[in-house]
Structures are given as structure tokens and as C-alpha cells.
Structure 1
Amino acid sequence: MTAPAADPPSWYAASAAPLAEQPALCGRIEADVCILGAGYTGLSAALELAQAGYRVAVLEARRVGWGASGRNGGQAIAGYGCGQATLENMLGRGAARALFDLSREGMDLLRARIARHRIACDWRDGHAHVPVRPRQARALRRDIVEMAQRYDYPLQWWDRPRLRAELDSERYLGAVYDPASGHLHPLEYARGLARAALAAGVRIFEHSPVRELVREPRPRLRTDGGEVAADFAVIAGNAWLRGIAPELESRIMPVGTYIAATAPLGQARARALIRNDMAVADVNWALDYFRLSRDHRLLFGGRASYSSLPPPNLRGVMRRRIRAVFPQLAQVPIDYLWGGYVDISLNRAPHWGRLTPKVYFAQGFSGHGVASTGLAGRLIAEAIRGQSQRLDLFAKIPHAPFPGGRIMRTPLLVLAMAWYKLRDALW
């Protein structure tokens, strides 16, 4: 299957069912809600609002799922990138519990949308966080107790022999297994959401980058070819915002992440690597994450770049990282190699709320966006419909801009990440 020319090359693009190209915006149109970004967040909000009877227009700079929604690792995990301890410290235990319960709703919503709209995105149950160092194993075991006692969320500790029964790697000291999390084909899911939104009456305009947000009294999103005037606007551009809302852009950092897809291994060899077909992620700061594809490849992600530049000799680096986990794959070639940006906030907590009374936003998913983006779309839709209590809980999370401004924030972050990588390597 040949991917449309506008899609970044990846195994996802090569294997996903095509989506009919949508027109570019031409002229001025009216809508009840206009949304910037046809990724998971924007499409989820559009779908919820259209089902409630709103006229919705979505503006996408390139194609549906072109950004992180169509390129990510596909791992859907309960919770948020910052962890519950950070939320407890910022908001207290009661609010942290409410936020975690909402993340569980996001997981349920993800499954429900896949089932309701018959999205063929290869959903698989099961996810494991795996420690490399003894201190990480101790911390994970404490987390299991806290999640059970404070959040009524059952997780399983697998010792090394139990893990080896499912994962054919000697690298890890055990695992926290979560049967309620899982993984999917990201681009298939994005396109499935788009099909559902189109069927509900949403108008999606591709190849229509937004150049200006006019905020009040009635928001307008302007492109080179026209503009949409609406009662409400939603900013869901995440790492790809460019000059639309500086106060949002200063509070996220685009971070490059990279994924390799090996040549097909064959069913028996692939399932020998991960017998229960779960997704796996280690808990290093610069983490590795991996899973199997439907055509029996290993999809292996890692080697994050905080400098906005691709790492040198990326293919060689990814081959070494794969060999460190699965030395038995040393001679297996890499067929696909791609990357993209995810958006991280300074505290790794989600940054959702209002820019003005009529302009909503969601960003800062910090590597946990597969499930939480759908929740963000639902909560923004609820707020537009007049029920904002649940979105307001996220708006209470404090967010500071990255230090250093636009010029210095990247070098400062690179230095900080170098320290965390050294810590991972030494203890």
C-alpha cells in the first residue's frame, strides 16, 4: 500500500488504510466551533461537539494525523507524564485522585470509540514498565502499593523469572504490568477518528495552516486561503504551534522521538520476543519503548532529541539500542526509521484550559497522549457546552514557561537532559 505523498514516511503510513484527502479552506465560512489541528485532541473534540449538534470546522496544516498523532509509539497508558506524586504536591491528594480517575475514563473512552466506530487500529491489551537499575525496581514496587492504596488501581509486580516468561530479554530486573493499558496503530486510530467525525458532519480542511488567531469578540482562525469565524475556537496544535499563541508555546517544548521498524520476523519469532503481545517501556529518563506490529515486526522507539536536531547516525544508534534489549536480533535489518515531535511541559503535567473565555486549548501531553488526548477533547467539548467543572480541574495545574526564552530554552534543556541521562547510566 503506497502512502500519500504528504504523509511522513513510516511503517504506519505504509500500512494504514488511506483516508480521502480533504479540501483546503477557500474563502470565509461560519461555524459554531473552529478547531486548529486534526490530531487526536482536535478530532476528539470535533466528534463530541458534532454529535451534540454543533457545526464544527477543523483546520489542519498538512494531513489528518500528520503530527504526533500519526507517528507516536502507540502506547496507551493510564495516568500522566508527570506521575501522581507531582500532582499531589501541586494540588493535594484529592485533586490528584480526581485527575487519575479522569485518566482512567480516557482509557475507557479510547476503547469505546474504537468499538463504536469500528476503527481497525490493532488494539492490544497490556503494558509493562520495566526497570534497568535496582533503584528503579524499588521505586516501581513502591508505586504499586501507592496506586492500590490511594487510587484503587491494581498493578502487578513481575519478578525477573515471571517477566522472562513473557519477554525474551535479560536486560530488565522485573516489571510493573498493567492489564488495563495497551497499544494500537496510531495513524489508523487518527484516520478512524477522522472518518467518524466526517460522518457526524464535521468539516475538515487539510493543507490549511493557520496563520493568525483573532481572539475576540468572536474568534477567527485565518489561513492563506480564507478564515473561519466561530463562537468558540480550540487550539490543538501541540508541538506544531508557530506564532499562533506565544503564551502557550512558551510552556511546551517540542522533543524529537524516533522509532525503528525491523524487517518482518515471522509470527513465531516475533511472539517469542513478546509472548503476550504487550507494549513495553523502560523507566530511564531517555527511555526505550517497544512492541510488535500486526505483520510481526519489532517497533522500537527511543533516542529522544531535546535539541530539535536529529541525532547523528540515527540508524546505527537505533540498531545498538535494539541489540542491547534483544541481542538475538543483531542481524535483523531496519526497514523503516522515522521521527517526530511530542510536546512536553516543564513539569510534565497536562496543560489544558482557556486562553480567553471563547478560546480553549490542550497541550503538554508529555508522552502520554494516546489516551489523554481523547479525554482532553471530551472535556473541552463539555466546557463549550456549558459544563466546565472537569476541565477547570486541569486548569488549576500551575505551568511555568521554559526558562531561557525562545533562544536559550533549548540549550538549557539539553544540559538538563544530559544530567538525567548520566544519572540513568551510573546508578
Structure 2
Amino acid sequence: MNLLHLNDRPGVYPPSLYAAEAGAPDARPALMGEARADVAVIGAGYTGLSAALHLARRGYRVVVLEAQRVGFGASGRNGGQIGSGQRQDVDWLEARFGPQMARRLWDLAEEAKALTRQIAAEAGVPVRDGIAHACRSQAEIDHARQMADHLAARYDYPHVEMLDRDALAHALGSGAYEGGDLDRGAGHVQPLSLVLGLARLAEAAGAVIHERSEVTRIDHATRAGEASRIATAQGTLRADHVILACNGYLGGLDRGIAARVMPINNYIVATRPLGDDFPEILPGRIAVADTKFVVNYWRLDDQRRLVFGGGETVTYRFPRDIAAVVRPHLLAVYPQLDGVELTHAWGGTLAITMNRMPCFVRPAPNCLSASGFSGHGVALAHLAGRLMAEAVAGQAERFDLMASVPGRPFPGGAMLRQPLLVAGMAWYGLRDRLGF
């Protein structure tokens, strides 16, 4: 099943608020005929474009091949949250890898946030500060407090403030949660504007980007000094190094990665501009994510539209009425918005791993891949591109550190993971609805 074509019109951005705000960026030409590069990057999202930017600034000839449009996938459709840390909390990391490794992984994630803010600043894309985490039970609040204290004491991170039920209700404009915390070191951004800005920076550094250039085959180099051959429908690119930055849209390009990185869909809606209505909703303009397995996440944009993501489906095809899927989750948090118009509704495909840690691998001696950011990719994907650029340049220690995090394939591998996804999403969706 090729998710590049299942839910979207070829070469057309989804009907998202982000795409409406960005307008129609000028199309870049497809790869035609024969071309040569030092590095071929497959995928023009955060990961691939960050790799292209950092490699081009090092003087490499870089060609990026994008099957659709720049930022067409998860990079241009997500909730825009620049979260702290890895996808797993530091206590999880410490229990499995020890405190020293956990600290190194935390420090890399902090670098990821700083890099994302730096790129946003260079591209002229504003970033707002603050992400609240909304807890549904006292046990979750207790764990959040332990993590905040631990980060302050052991990780030099004093930026997480605990919020009791009343304080969280005031910050959110909703009494749906028991309490939570506010991470003032995290932030949020318009994600498509960010990836389009990143593309401009990469091109200014010398990278070449071809859109509508879906890769159909990769013949990896088998001998030292030999170039890999990357084929598209209308052209061929030969390159000394290959970077796979496809995330949930990898398709059949590498079955080994596909067994470890599973695409899933998520859905977002946007309200009409709220103007002076509902001033209680997010008065501090923070973003929010809750503790459900199928996470709800939301923020206000600069026009005071509420951009709200949530809801699950158990097939890869988007539902016909995305708003109907998301609306009940939005109203469970903000019942006062019943009847408020939803002007945009869209879906997107991200990718998860079994342990929710990103999958860094070397599919071939001259090939690198990073994917499976599990809903935590806005910052980490930018860092992944930097680490792959370093590895191409012969400085692979940090890429290899991320690659050393053990991960295992989904049961059944690439062939059987979709039926298991159906069962798993149905089970966890039921748990969320029952409040477990």
C-alpha cells in the first residue's frame, strides 16, 4: 500500500489551514534525465531538508528528491509542537540504558529544540513559548511532578512548572483535566511555514530540490568508490551517499526499515477565528497535549483559531468526514465551542516505532536513514538531519549513539503490522474512552 497516493491528490497540498495560509508555493521542477550529486536526499520534510541544509553548508553537492511537494507529509501537517526531551521520559530512558546514556539522549533533544528555533529564526517563522501537559488522573500528576523535580535536580532543566486542577483549568480554559504541568522551555510553530522556510535556506546554501520526483528504485553501491543509482519515473540520480528521510511514506524502498517503522494517521481541525469570543481559551497562547494514548493536542494560532488534533481510525484511508472524527474530542475539552464553525479539517500520516524512540539505521554502507519519530518529530527530525550530515562528513559518533538505541520490528514485520494496528488502535481507543 503506497500512502503517497492513497489519500491525497498528486502534487496538491491537503486542505489544511496551514496550506491556506501559505498559499501555493511555486512548484519546483521534477528530476529529468541523468544527474549526479555527492548526496541524494529522499524526502523533503524536516529530516531531509535539515540534512540537505547542513550538507550544503559543508560544501557538498546535494540533490533532494520529493515525491510530492516540499513539506507534503507530516512535516507540513502536524500540530507544530516543539517538545522537550525524547518521546520517552527520562525515567524510562534511565531504566533501560542507564543515567549516562539517558543524559546524552536528553542533551541531544535539547540541541534539537535549539536547532529548530535557530532555523525558524533564520527563516523568519515565529515560535511561541510553552507547552502544557494535561493529566487525567492523580497518578499521572504524581509522575509529572516526579519528572519535573528530577529534570530540575539531575538534568539542569528548571523550566517545568506544576499546575494544580484550578491553575491548569485557567491556563486551558477547560476543566476537563485533573492537573498537569507547563514546560516553558518548549514551544510551538506553524509547521508548514517552518518546512517551507527550511527549504528556502537549503536552496540558498546550494541544495537542489526536485518535486514530483517519486523514487521507484534504489541500487545501492556495492563497492568502494561506486555511486548508488536512484531511479524516478523520469530521471536517474547517481550519488556517493544516500539519505532516506521518508518517515511514514517510505513505501517499499526498504523492507527492513518498514518492519520497524509503522505509518499511522492523525487528524486536525481548525475553528473560525475566535476574535474576542471565548477569551478563557488559552489566554497565554501556550500549546497543550494530554495524556491519552491517542493524544489530543491543540493551540491557538495568531488569528485565534483553535487548531485541535485528535481522534483515531483503524484504516490507512482518511475518513470522508474528518471533522466528524475530531469534533467529539474537541468538545470533550471545550464544550463551549459546540456550534462553532470548523473551517478546515485534514489528515496526515506520521510514523511510530515499537518503543516510540526514533529509528536511526544504516540500510547500506553508504546509506543513512532516520524516521519513526512517534509524534515527537518537529524538533528531533531537524536534529536527525544534522546528525546524518555529520555522519556523511565522517563524524558519525552522534548518529551512531542514536542508532545504538535498541528497537525491534513490529510483530509480523511489514506484512502483518496493519492488521495488528487495527486491533491495537481499537483497543487503545477504547481505553481512552473509558478513561484508563
TM-score normalised to structure 1 length:
0.95
Residue of 103, 114, 125 corresponding to 1:108: 114
**Deviations 1:240-261 (Å, cap 9, x if unpaired)?**
0111111011111111000000
Q: Is the 8 A contact 2:266 2:349 kept in 1?
A: yes
Once residues 347 and 244 of structure 1 are traced to their aligned partners in structure 2, the CA distance between those partners, rounded to angstroms, is 22
Q: Among 266, 270, 285, which residue is 1:277 paired with?
A: 285
Kindly report which structure 2 residues correspond to 1:125-204, keeping only aligned pairs within 5 A, or say none: 125-154=129-158, 155-204=160-209
Q: Does 1:213 align with 2:207?
A: no
Indicate conservation of the 8 Å contact 1:90/1:397, yes or no. Answer: no
Which residue pairs with 1:331 in the alignment? 339
| Residue in 2 that maps onto 1:363 | 371
Match of 1:64 among 55, 70, 93: 70
Alignment of 1:68-107 (within 5 A): 68-107=74-113
The CA distance in 2 between the partners of 1:398 and 1:159, in whole Å, is 37
Match of 1:392 in 2: 400
> Which of 241, 245, 248 lines up with 1:232 in the alignment?
241
Give 1:402's aligned residue: 410
Q: In structure 2, do the counterparts of structure 1 residues 419 and 143 end up closer, same or farther at CA, with 3 Å as the change threshold?
A: farther
CA deviation string 1:128-170 (max 9, x = no partner): 1111222222222222222223322221101122223322101
Q: CA deviation at 1:270?
A: 5.5
Residue number among 407, 411, 414 corresponding to 2:419 in the alignment = 411
Q: Deviations over 1:164-217 (max 9, x none)?
A: 332210101122111111111111001000011111111000000000111113
Which sits farther off after the overlay, 386-395 or 400-409?
400-409
Q: Aligned pair in 2 of structure 1 residues 413, 185: CA closer, same or farther (>3 Å)?
A: same
Secondary structure of 1:272's match?
coil
* Superposed CA RMSD: 1.8
Identity of aligned residues (%): 44
Q: CA deviation at 1:355?
A: 1.6
Moved more, 308-317 or 355-364: 308-317
Among 123, 127, 134, the alignment partner of 1:123 is 127
Amino acid at match of 1:230: A
Deviations 1:25-65 (A, max 9, x none): 00111111110000000000000010111110000000000
State whether structure 2 residue 39 is matched by structure 1 residue 51. Answer: no
Counterpart CA distance in 2 for 1:108 and 1:192 is 16
Aligned equivalents of 1:5 and 1:265: distance in 2?
Answer: 32
Instruction: Say whether the 8 Å CA contact 1:80–1:365 is kept in structure 2.
Output: no
Q: Which amino acid is 1:24 matched to?
A: A
For residue 27 of structure 1, what is the aligned residue in structure 2? 33
Contact 1:270 1:298 in 2 (8 A): no
**SS, match of residue 213 in structure 1:** strand
Structure 1 position 354, deviation (Å)? 1.7
SS in 2 for 1:166: helix
- 412-421 or 19-28: which moved more? 412-421
Partner of 2:300: 292
Given that 2:86 and 2:105 are in contact with CA atoms closer than 8 Å, whether structure 1 keeps it comes out as: no
Q: Secondary structure of 2:172's match?
A: coil
Task: Check conservation: 2:260, 2:413, Cα contact below 8 A.
Answer: no
Shift in Å, 1:305: 3.1
Note if contact 2:229-2:236 (Cα within 8 Å) is conserved in structure 1.
Answer: yes
**Residues 289 and 296, structure 2, Cα contact 8 Å, conserved in 1:** yes
Q: Secondary structure at the match of 1:231?
A: strand
Change (3 A) 1:331 1:139: same
Residues 95, 263 of structure 1: alpha-carbon distance in 2 compared, 3 angstrom cutoff: same
1:9 paired with 2:15, answer: yes
Q: What letter is aligned with 1:307? A: T
Residues 219 and 359, structure 1, Cα contact 8 Å, conserved in 2: no
The answer for unaligned runs of 5 or more in structure 1 is none
User: What is the CA-CA distance between 1:410 and the residue it aligns to?
Assistant: 1.9
What is the match of residue 3 of structure 2? Answer: none
